[in-house]
Amino acid sequence: MVAMATKIRLDDETAAVLARFNEGLERTKEQDRRVKTVAKAERFKDEAAKKVKSLESGDGSGENRSEAQEQYRIAAEQWQTMKTRLDAGVHRIAVAVNASGKPAQFHLRLRERSSSAERERLIGLALAGRGNVRRGREVFQNVEKSLCLKCHRIGEKGERIGPDLTGVGSRFSKIHLIESILEPSRTIAPSYETRVIVLKSGRVLTGVKAAETALTLTLADSEGKKRVVQKSEIEETRNQSKSTMPDGVEKRLTAREFVDLIGFLLSEKKN
């Protein structure tokens, strides 16, 4: 038997590309290590904060307390410094574009990894799958199941508590649609902010403005229920950064139904 070794000769250009790729890989690994170190420092800081809290509420001696406070101060400072350094680091994003001659388009959204594993799974499925438009429409129109029509309108159906979703497929990218449903408070549609209204009686109402006259304000809550308030009864109005659209509507759906719903919404183009 004769052993054969195949050697590939790389031309200079390919070799240079490969070298850059390897360098990028190294940087990514380094970045990963730094992210882990910062996460560790953050946990450390949180532990220290917990300790301070428990000492403050409990009957710990003053000495213990100030020691814990000092430890917290140091931990918080260390974490902050590391985090600032990390944020200032190099981040690279590689995009591969097909040489099809057609104009290329891509969306880039940076988000904190706040979502749960289940959400990540749903995002992955919905991004990968196309969804069945007809079944998706059924999901959307089934008020008891998805609740969507309680607050949104498409064409002639539905309420106007949230934005009208007619033609939504022309306005939104897939990932934006997915996130609008999974995490409503991440971005709140302009003029649909949640208002917190304190009445002179002391009662507090929250919801989105559904209608307004010279004398009254109609507020719709996160269940789609409307309430008319006399403006003369209002003591104070504030905005809140949490959306009136409830979290977890996706929990009422199977993964299949969620993917179909996204497919349907994307197919809703302006004509």
Q: Counting contacts by CB under 6 A, is residue 177 touching ligand HEC?
A: yes
Closest to ligand HEC by CB, 52 vs 147, is 147
Q: Counting contacts by CB under 6 A, is residue 119 touching ligand HEC?
A: no
Question: Taking contact as CB under 6 A, which single stretch among the options 2-10, 67-75, 102-110, 222-230 is the one that binds ligand HEC?
Answer: 222-230
| Minimum distance from residue 210 beta carbon to ligand HEC (Å) | 9
Site string for ligand HEC, 223-262 (x = CB under 6 A): xx------------------xxxx--x-------------
CA proximity to 224, closest of 158, 140, 176: 158
Pairing of strands 194-199, 234-240: antiparallel
B/e letters for 198-236, b = 16+ CB within 10 Å, e = fewer, are: eeeeeeeeebbbbeeeeeebbbbbbebeeeebeeeeeee
Among 31, 192, 206, 267, which residue interacts with ligand HEC (rule: CB under 6 A)? 192
Contact 175, 109 (CB under 8 A): yes
Q: Counting contacts by CB under 6 A, is residue 148 touching ligand HEC?
A: yes
Q: Counting contacts by CB under 6 A, is residue 184 touching ligand HEC?
A: yes
Give the whole-angstrom CA distance, residue 193 versus residue 171.
Answer: 20
Q: Length of the chain in residues, anyone?
A: 271
Q: Counting contacts by CB under 6 A, is residue 146 touching ligand HEC?
A: yes
In DSSP terms, 239 is beta-bridged to 195
Contact 127, 138 (CB under 8 A): no
Question: What is the size of the binding site for ligand HEC (CB under 6 A)?
Answer: 26
CA dihedral of 108, 111, 117, 123, whole degrees rounded to 10:
-30
**DSSP code string of 45-56:** HHHHHHHHHHHH
| Amino acid at residue number 270 | K
| Minimum distance from residue 161 beta carbon to ligand HEC (Å) | 5
Question: Taking contact as CB under 6 A, which single stretch among the options 6-14, 19-27, 36-44, 180-188 is the one that binds ligand HEC?
Answer: 180-188
| Minimum distance from residue 204 beta carbon to ligand HEC (Å) | 18
Q: Counting contacts by CB under 6 A, is residue 266 touching ligand HEC?
A: no
Q: Counting contacts by CB under 6 A, is residue 222 touching ligand HEC?
A: yes
Q: Counting contacts by CB under 6 A, is residue 44 touching ligand HEC?
A: no
Q: How many CB atoms lie within 10 A of CB 256?
A: 14
| Minimum distance from residue 104 beta carbon to ligand HEC (Å) | 25
- What residue ranges bind ligand HEC (CB under 6 A)? 146-148, 150-152, 161-163, 168, 177, 180-181, 184, 188-189, 192, 208, 222-224, 243-246, 249
